[in-house]
Amino acid sequence: MQMFLDGLLAQYPSTMKVVLVIGLARVFMKPTMSFLRQVITLTETKKDDTILKKIEENAIFKMILYVLDWSLSVKLRQENKSKPSK
């Protein structure tokens, strides 16, 4: 795996930089948004709740989160846990 990644880095350095930036954005975005949601929920004012709601409903924000989540998520196949019928 290391040799594969080293080969990709040597052949496509700009692509690897883009993947690194997307990965770092994802690492920081999810915990930061969770923290902000918790802080805003605990505050007494409702103005910040409406601001956060506007941000989260923004189409560009949703697209960024979708791209971050889709591009760097590990997708595992779901096993069928139901018992076979006899």
Residue 56 contacts residue 50 (beta carbons within 8 Å): no
pLDDT value at residue 60: 92
Q: Per-residue pLDDT for the chain (86 aa), expressed as one digit of tens each?
A: 788 878 888 888 888 788 788 778 878 888 888 898 899 888 888 898 899 899 889 999 888 888 877 776 656 566 666 655 55
Note the pTM of the prediction, 2 decimals.
0.51
Both tokens assigned to 33? 């948004």
Domain boundaries, the chain: 9-71
